[in-house]
Structure 1
Amino acid sequence: MEEYILKIENLSKSFGENLVLKDINFDIKKGEIIGLVGENGAGKSTLMKIIFGMAVIEETGGYKGEIILNGKKVKFKNSMEALDAGIGMVHQEFSLIPGFKIYENIILNRETLKSGFLKDFFGERVELLNIEDNKNRAKGALKHLELNVDVETIVDELPVGHMQFIEIAREIERENTKLLVLDEPTAVLTENEAEILLKTMKKLSNEGISIIFITHRLEEIMKVSDRVVVLRDGIMMKQLITKETNVDEITELMIGRKIENRSKERILKKFSENIMELKNLSVNMTGEKIKNLNLKIKKGEILGIGGMAGQGKIAIANGVMGLKETKGEIYYKGEKLQLNTPRLPLINGIFFVSEDRKETGLILNEPIDYNISYPAIYLKNKFLKKNLGGLYKSIDIKKIKSNTDKYIENLEIKCMNGYQKVGELSGGNQQKVCLAKAFTMEPELLFVSEPTRGIDVGAKKIVLDTLKNYNEKENMTIVITSSELEELRQICHRIVIVNEGKVAGILSPEDDLLEYGKLMVGIKEGADGEN
């Protein structure tokens, strides 16, 4: 008889009248890797919240069905109970303490203590931390992940990819971890980092740890999982043996239709006029610093920015938009742009969709329509109507609704209506709201960082096609920063590779992948911003 770590039986969950999971049944054996896939809004995150005992589930009426862990029925009241039972979870959004050191984050609340003579008099309250042992425990967890970093580094100083490894190290360091839930763990990683993580997952499964792996990168599912569970609209469509299926079958089950392959064939236009020029740009962004970077952005192009994590690619847009301390010179349409003034780019037709949608991109407790419209209201006086012959203006609710409904339809934002709070949407649908807000501003130059991070294959196509359409039909200049090199090659006219805070070179999407690899690791240099 095979040993099952977890069984889910007839599990259903509703939020009010909205049924988000219906009669879900699946199991996972000891040491098995289950790939859990589905479009944004399919119910994956809700299912994981139930398994991990997150408080929001009980607060919203609980769930129906049963969870059986190690042969016993369980119903966790909170996540601490799930952790004590041997379930670890790495969430899509980081939960590290920024000001703490790496080793302190990894062993938090499980620190090794050492006794001193005072304990005999005053009890356990005067026990001291065994610093060396705690550091060694953290180093052991990181060794599993092949991450070579100083465990005394403050987490806030790390590139975002390394933070993801720290999150995973924290969970595997727990001695009793039997089941590990990974929610989009590779979304913030480069291709090389993702490969290391996949190897680590295989290693952990060989050691008997079971893994539920949630990702939108189906090629990773094919590489690492034993079985695939497909959700669509809260229903479990099918459970597949990975070696007996393929990406096309999984995709059709996920979205109910075939996804046409985006052709790399396109007219590689030549652009002559500069819309923006960066001269000796330095950006002080923790873990992503830029040093004396030079780059010319051509009017009407889609420019891609790629590179390894921590090399500076993310900092460029943040510097241009005045969100991080910046030095150097920025020329926009021939005029010098004042640095470190966030309002100035916005009123001059430059907009930014941040890689950090929750912290920078959205107001989570406000509705969709407000999130989409508020920059245009306050910066461009859109959606205002005159009253009493123009004596005063008020917000035009009908125009806001019309605009919101247009983007809900065009971007296929899954929601109840435009009045639903953005914080209640899945990550992919939040990303679409960020894009809708940007398009509503009608910018001449749009910076977009990690536009498809954490979104499914169907939503990914909608996002990329929409960006391409705005570029072609509205002549919008778009700069896309992404860890997904293949996506950049599919949509961009030129691709900048950033290494050690500078432009290592600029390539055509038709250039050989080997040329990209050389630039990314710094063994070849191209023209700095001139191609």
Structure 2
Amino acid sequence: MAAEYLLEMNNIVKDYFGNKVLKGVTIKVRAGEIHALVGENGAGKSTLMNILFGMPVIYSTGGIKGEVVLEGKPVTIESPKTAMNLGIGMVHQEFMLLPGFTITENIKLNRETTKHNPVSKVLGNSLKSLDILSMRKDAQKALKTLGMNVDDWLPIAGLPVGYMQFVEIAREIDKENIRLLVFDEPTAVLAESEADKLLETMKILAAQGIAILFITHRLDEVLAVADAITVLRDGTNVGCMTHEEANLENIAEMMIGKNVERLVPTAKDVQSQEVALSIRNLSVTMPGEMVKNIDLDVKKGEVLGLAGLAGQGKIGVANGVMGLYPATGEVFKGESRLELNNPKKAIQNKLAFVSEDRRGVGLLLDTSIELNIMMTSMQIQGKFLKAFLGIKAIQMADNKKIREHALKMIKELDIRCTDPTQITRRLSGGNQQKVCVARALTLEPNILFVSEPTRGIDIGAKKLLLDLLVKLNREWGMTIVVTSSELGELRSICDRIAVVYGGKIETILSPTAPDVDYGLAMAGKYSDREETV
């Protein structure tokens, strides 16, 4: 008797060094079913798929608890090779293609067809030749199944992005034993017409009995093709529904719904407040976080949140304003127009930035805490310097002032360290982040951009950093723009939250707005609903 489900992942638990990212997740998929897996960034989708595909990071960090069952039989998938041998394929969001190879060569890579030649007949199979005609025939068959009319001998380099995505799929369905395909954000890089074609292709594959696990943030695509939908939130199942039971509102609410504890009693009413920073028609060329002609006003004295799913552009806003990536448009601070693409000018205009990449951009890891705090101010503002032997043209570090200021920052921000000379690399993640904040505050800004402030730090340190941002705003009067993938954190401290989707501002919401509003906004469907009201 055939098993009811092709795949069962039962009560899956996974933690990384004490941080539990999956907390007993169960998902069941039937043969020939398109099963959508949705949830916010950090909900656990990628970790669950890494387990299914046997990615090395899973077993190099202690493995999992729970059970994976394929066609009624428990299996242990400890490598991608094992997954492929079991008939599991994955179409990754980032293309896994060799640009210098042809379409056929990419489709047949590591599964090449060979034939004997005069030499191999004498010296053995290892000297067989590639059977190019057979390989091309297989590639053409896979491409035809997908409805692709393209020369299979074209090189990958130079192909449109949509074609590359279909070559990825063709490679998977060319495998004789394929029975389960994972699509990880397959439409993220596609134009609308290409995305529609891909969704139709998924239906064709499902009709052939191939089960499809479909990971996407685009809820309209889920409703268009999914037979079943599982929603993850904070590493747990929060629901599984059929196509008939699902609608945008209930999926969105399930994705976002969580108890939000405000760190400040109420959000400030900033509608009548003076505009501190006016952003007009801003576009930013930041790979993976493109910003497309946004308009946004930051009110004086507010904490403004920038929310959105990965790759939608929220990270690009601060990086563009601060000049770290090429930007066009206009930014005004009061009546003064700021010069874009010039980090030095941004800092001189009393803007400061705590980068999302503290180890790559934010810190000099092998330098002392005190020099990390002071370095930018010394270079751009000329502070903490003194004349060498009374010669003003020659400046040197004023070690006394540096030490005094470093001790002050360490005390005020509660940076846990041995002393100001400690190498920054040896601090915990939370304390490294505080050093980044201390450096920004040393610039004496009146507008502070903070990007992903709690990424990669423990729960206790997260609370301390959020408390610090509230203190800077409420007690120091600083205007703060916080970009974060943690919506709950933004809702706990912000006065307003701008949701970014597709490189544009989808809407601006109150931190106390209904969960469904946030879910729809992050899926790019909030404005659609407003138009129908």
Opposite residue 107 of structure 2, the aligned amino acid is I
2:169 is the counterpart of 1:157? no
Once residues 125 and 343 of structure 2 are traced to their aligned partners in structure 1, the CA distance between those partners, rounded to angstroms, is 54
Task: Show the counterpart of 1:416.
Answer: 458
- Cα deviation code 1:410-464 (max 9, x no counterpart): 88858536989xxxxxxxxxxxxxxxxxxxxxxxxxxxxxx99xx8xx859979x
2:401 is the counterpart of 1:389? yes
- Cα deviation code 1:250-285 (max 9, x no counterpart): 1222221599xxxxxxx9xxxxxxx999xxxxx9xx
Contact 1:338 1:344 in 2 (8 A): no
Once residues 408 and 157 of structure 1 are traced to their aligned partners in structure 2, the CA distance between those partners, rounded to angstroms, is 38
Residue 77 of structure 1: SS of its match in structure 2? coil
**CA 1:39 to 1:91, structure 2 compared with 1: closer, same or farther past 3 Å?**
same
2:50 is the counterpart of 1:49? yes
**CA 1:410 to 1:393, structure 2 compared with 1: closer, same or farther past 3 Å?**
closer
Contact 1:367 1:419 in 2 (8 A): no
Residue 118 of structure 2: SS of its match in structure 1? coil
Contact 2:15 2:22 in 1 (8 A): yes
Residue 175 of structure 1: SS of its match in structure 2? coil
* Cα drift, residue 36 of structure 1: 0.8
Contact 1:89 1:180 in 2 (8 A): yes
Task: Show the counterpart of 1:224.
Answer: 225
Once residues 78 and 234 of structure 1 are traced to their aligned partners in structure 2, the CA distance between those partners, rounded to angstroms, is 23
Task: Show the counterpart of 1:309.
Answer: none
Task: Show the counterpart of 1:18.
Answer: 19
Once residues 102 and 461 of structure 2 are traced to their aligned partners in structure 1, the CA distance between those partners, rounded to angstroms, is 41
- Cα deviation code 1:367-417 (max 9, x no counterpart): 9998xx999987776899763136999796677979957878988858536
Once residues 156 and 84 of structure 2 are traced to their aligned partners in structure 1, the CA distance between those partners, rounded to angstroms, is 23
* Cα drift, residue 135 of structure 1: 3.0
2:147 is the counterpart of 1:135? no
Residue 238 of structure 2: SS of its match in structure 1? strand
Identity of aligned residues (%): 37
**CA 1:14 to 1:394, structure 2 compared with 1: closer, same or farther past 3 Å?**
same
* Cα drift, residue 7 of structure 1: 1.3
**CA 1:244 to 1:191, structure 2 compared with 1: closer, same or farther past 3 Å?**
same
Residue 6 of structure 2: SS of its match in structure 1? strand
Once residues 191 and 259 of structure 2 are traced to their aligned partners in structure 1, the CA distance between those partners, rounded to angstroms, is 27
Residue 88 of structure 1: SS of its match in structure 2? strand
Opposite residue 184 of structure 1, the aligned amino acid is E
Contact 2:498 2:505 in 1 (8 A): no
Opposite residue 52 of structure 1, the aligned amino acid is F
* Cα drift, residue 61 of structure 1: 0.8
Contact 1:12 1:21 in 2 (8 A): yes
Contact 1:252 1:258 in 2 (8 A): no
2:166 is the counterpart of 1:124? no
Q: Structure 1 stretch 235-244 or stretch 77-86: which is displaced more?
A: 235-244
Opposite residue 198 of structure 2, the aligned amino acid is L
2:119 is the counterpart of 1:77? no
Opposite residue 142 of structure 1, the aligned amino acid is L
- Cα deviation code 1:472-502 (max 9, x no counterpart): xxxxxxxx9x867xx56769xxxxxxxxxxx
Contact 1:408 1:414 in 2 (8 A): no
Residue 67 of structure 1: SS of its match in structure 2? strand
Structure 2: 5+ residue stretches without partners? 261-270, 272-278, 299-315, 385-397, 416-429, 438-448, 463-482, 509-526
Q: How does 1:192-341 map to 2 (within 5 A)?
A: 192-256=193-257
Opposite residue 387 of structure 1, the aligned amino acid is N
2:73 is the counterpart of 1:61? no
TM-score by length of 1: 0.58
Once residues 108 and 80 of structure 1 are traced to their aligned partners in structure 2, the CA distance between those partners, rounded to angstroms, is 14
* Cα drift, residue 17 of structure 1: 1.7
The total of aligned residue pairs comes to: 414
Opposite residue 48 of structure 1, the aligned amino acid is M
**CA 1:180 to 1:114, structure 2 compared with 1: closer, same or farther past 3 Å?**
same
**CA 1:276 to 1:213, structure 2 compared with 1: closer, same or farther past 3 Å?**
closer
* Cα drift, residue 154 of structure 1: 3.6
Task: Show the counterpart of 2:479.
Answer: none
Once residues 65 and 196 of structure 2 are traced to their aligned partners in structure 1, the CA distance between those partners, rounded to angstroms, is 38
* Cα drift, residue 132 of structure 1: 3.2
Once residues 294 and 29 of structure 2 are traced to their aligned partners in structure 1, the CA distance between those partners, rounded to angstroms, is 50
Contact 1:229 1:240 in 2 (8 A): yes
Contact 1:189 1:483 in 2 (8 A): no
2:30 is the counterpart of 1:29? yes
**CA 1:344 to 1:73, structure 2 compared with 1: closer, same or farther past 3 Å?**
same
TM-score by length of 2: 0.58
**CA 1:391 to 1:367, structure 2 compared with 1: closer, same or farther past 3 Å?**
closer
**CA 1:150 to 1:393, structure 2 compared with 1: closer, same or farther past 3 Å?**
farther
Contact 1:404 1:418 in 2 (8 A): no
Contact 2:2 2:71 in 1 (8 A): no
* Cα drift, residue 172 of structure 1: 1.8
Residue 244 of structure 1: SS of its match in structure 2? coil
Structure 1: 5+ residue stretches without partners? 260-266, 268-274, 278-282, 287-294, 302-313, 354-359, 421-450, 472-479, 492-508, 514-531
* Cα drift, residue 364 of structure 1: 7.8
Task: Show the counterpart of 1:189.
Answer: 190
Contact 1:190 1:483 in 2 (8 A): no
**CA 1:126 to 1:368, structure 2 compared with 1: closer, same or farther past 3 Å?**
same
2:39 is the counterpart of 1:38? yes
**CA 1:150 to 1:415, structure 2 compared with 1: closer, same or farther past 3 Å?**
farther
**CA 1:97 to 1:344, structure 2 compared with 1: closer, same or farther past 3 Å?**
farther
Contact 2:374 2:402 in 1 (8 A): no
Instruction: Look at both structures and tell me which one has the larger radius of gyration over its CA atoms.
Output: 2
Task: Show the counterpart of 1:109.
Answer: 110
* Cα drift, residue 96 of structure 1: 2.3
- Cα deviation code 1:80-114 (max 9, x no counterpart): 01001100012233322333333222211011112
Task: Show the counterpart of 1:175.
Answer: 176
Contact 1:368 1:418 in 2 (8 A): no
* Cα drift, residue 128 of structure 1: 1.2
Q: How does 1:426-441 map to 2 (within 5 A)?
A: none
Once residues 169 and 498 of structure 2 are traced to their aligned partners in structure 1, the CA distance between those partners, rounded to angstroms, is 38
**CA 1:366 to 1:490, structure 2 compared with 1: closer, same or farther past 3 Å?**
closer
Once residues 368 and 249 of structure 1 are traced to their aligned partners in structure 2, the CA distance between those partners, rounded to angstroms, is 43
Contact 1:103 1:151 in 2 (8 A): yes
Opposite residue 416 of structure 1, the aligned amino acid is D
Task: Show the counterpart of 2:308.
Answer: none
* Cα drift, residue 166 of structure 1: 2.6
**CA 1:460 to 1:377, structure 2 compared with 1: closer, same or farther past 3 Å?**
farther
Opposite residue 49 of structure 1, the aligned amino acid is N
* Cα drift, residue 115 of structure 1: 1.7
Task: Show the counterpart of 1:87.
Answer: 88
Residue 99 of structure 1: SS of its match in structure 2? coil
Opposite residue 192 of structure 1, the aligned amino acid is S
Opposite residue 138 of structure 2, the aligned amino acid is R
**CA 1:489 to 1:68, structure 2 compared with 1: closer, same or farther past 3 Å?**
closer
